[in-house]
Amino acid sequence: MARTYPRLVKTEGEILESLDREHPEKSVYRKTSITRFNGVMREKLDPYRTWIDDMTNLTDPFSMHDWYFEKDYSKDAFKTEFGDYANFDVVQYGGKHNEGETSETDDANEETKSRDDIVTAGFYESDAKDLYVIWIPKQSAVLYHSPLPNDEKRLSLWQTYWNERDPRTPYGIGLYEILKHNKVMYDRFMNMTIDQLVMAIYPMLFYSGTGGSGDIHLSPNLVKQKLPGTTVEQVNIKYDPRGFEAIGFMGERIDESTGITPTLQGEVQGKTLGEILHAKDAALKRLSTPLDNIAEALEDDAYIALSWERQLLSTPEVKEFYSDEEIAKYQEESGNALQNPRQMNVDPLTGVFTPQYGGVSL
């Protein structure tokens, strides 16, 4: 489960232009904006914090019309990402990290889950309503809303499943769900066999008589004198090597259930090339459905990415300069000669110069 979307990561900073070694505080810096990433991004989503249209039908690829997910941001990251939005100032920080998802294994100490510098943002997309919303669930407030930003009105979500659970739900049967019952027995046999092996090597002893109290720990390469009147009895543990046979059997059951056999993992099984190829083909036949599902998800991602690429690459890039001197420095550093550098768009409020090429702002 993931989404494909356009992302722009910019950092505002200052670059050193001249250094005053005697008085470093008088050094001259120049403000600049550094673009770290500008393109199509793929982000893996948390399935426990992502909700898909409940009317999605696996037999109809166009049945999913909306979806929603939540994501946590630190205070600095949230300001960098959403600081320009009109409702940014009303957002309240704090609350519980990953609020809304609790389980029996959660930490009982509530203070460890409370964060003062975290804000949770929710994102909603709907092609039926032509709607995109950024939502603050803690305050039940809308940070931003607009028509669906993709020109082809594609949702940015793409997802798949390992095996089908029911054609009426998009949530399938995952790999862990297939093997978890066998994995419990596998771990149990492993723990019991190792415990038995340890007890066979370090046996349990009972002693009676004078010369000590409490537990006495065995130590290798150590000889102690036995006191008169004391007796020591050893509990004999007969180590049974069949425990490892049970472990191997449970491992084979896991391989059969998942279809990921040792042959596919690179282990050579069989004496001839024909035996190896037959074992490999049989394993791939078991994996044909999951592989087809993965291929379909990659195809969906490709269509979404191409849609965003056509939209992004058709948008001209804008470069802003604050003075003629900055234009000259840009030409010198980049080697790009601006055509008609005096042909500018000047913002009367900010005084920002935007050069034009053939009447189109860069």
Which residue type does 272 have? T
User: What three-state secondary structure class fits 242?
Assistant: helix
108 pLDDT above the threshold of 50? no
Q: Which one, of 56, 45, 54, lies nearest residue 2 by Cα?
A: 45
In this predicted model, which residue has the larger pLDDT, 109 or 31? 31
pLDDT of 321: 67
Structure confidence at residue 123 as a pLDDT band (50, 70, 90) = very high
Cross-strand partners of 148: none
User: Does residue 353 surpass a pLDDT of 70?
Assistant: no
Strand partners, 326: none
Q: Which element (helix H / strand E) includes 283?
A: helix 273-286
> Residue 166: is its pLDDT beyond 60?
yes
What b/e readout covers 299-308, taking b as 16+ CB neighbours within 10 angstroms? ebbeebbebb
Q: Are 106 and 48 in contact (CB under 8 A)?
A: no
The pLDDT of residue 5 is: 94
Res 91 pLDDT > 50: yes
Q: What is the pTM of this model?
A: 0.68
pLDDT of residue 146: 93
The mean pLDDT of 230-235, rounded to a whole number, is 76
β-partners of residue 33 are 12
Q: For 304-320, write each residue's pLDDT tens digit.
A: 999 999 998 877 766 66
State the Cα–Cα distance between residues 36 and 121, nearest whole angstrom.
Answer: 23
**DSSP secondary structure string for all residues of 296-361:** HHHHHHHHHHHHHHHHHHTSPP---BSSHHHHHHHHHHH-PPPSSTT-EEE-TTT--EEEEETTEE
Provide CB contacts within 8 A for 169, sequence distance 6+: 54, 56, 58
Q: Which residues contact 94 (CB under 8 A, 6 or more apart)?
A: 114, 115, 116, 117, 118, 119
- What number of residues does the chain have? 362
Residue 96 pLDDT greater than 60, yes or no = no
